Amino acid sequence: MNADCLRAAIRDVVDFPKPGIIFKDITPVLADAKLFRESIALLCATAGNVKIDKVVGIDARGFIFAAAVADRLDAGFVPIRKKGKLPWKTRQTAYSLEYGESIVELHEDAIRPGETVLLVDDLLATGGTAAAAVKLLDELGANLVGISVLIELEFLAGRAKLAPHRVISIITY
């Protein structure tokens, strides 16, 4: 099994969540134990031989993949959430969306300075959310060794917002 099997399982949903968007639906991958296992194995491999202290996942679908990757890498899992969803003291940053602005947060004690971190998400599109996550991790002194995504929509050029960080995508469109 490989990334081509995963690509074949990802469903295109036209005009969701609004007209003109082709949504990449990962639920067929999640529903198939072998495909889900393979997606996690491929994301884990992006860490290479680096010992990861924390795997950070972005709200919400990124949590699914990041938590499983953290378990396999024997690392802690840290969620980056939408504003108002974390119960402790947080750091937050705003980022732009095509229709406005949003805010993500991270517990201020979630990462210790120098900890080796892998950022995992399901999809990289315009890069705004991932760039906001990187900003928060930088503020906490994380040693961000990579940004791993299951799917990258290359035509939206989100990777450019994440330079100079290493971005690894399993499937590109």
Which one of 7, 11, 37, 61 is the catalytic residue?
Answer: 61
This model's pTM is above 0.85: yes
Among the four given CATH numbers 2.60.40.10, 3.40.50.2020, 3.40.50.410, 3.90.950.20, the one describing domain 48-172: 3.40.50.2020
Active site residue 166: no
Looking at residue 100, what is its pLDDT? 75
The 3-state DSSP composition of the chain as helix, strand, coil percent (nearest 5) reads 35, 35, 30
CB burial class (10 A; 0-12, 13-18, 19+) of residue 155?
Answer: exposed
Using 50 as the pLDDT threshold, list the residues of the chain that sit under it.
none
In whole angstroms, give the CA distance from residue 57 to residue 76.
11
Looking at residue 98, what is its pLDDT? 66
In whole angstroms, give the CA distance from residue 173 to residue 152.
6
Active site residue 7: no
Residue tagged 């889900």 (tokens): 36
Which one of 98, 101, 112, 154 is the catalytic residue?
Answer: 98
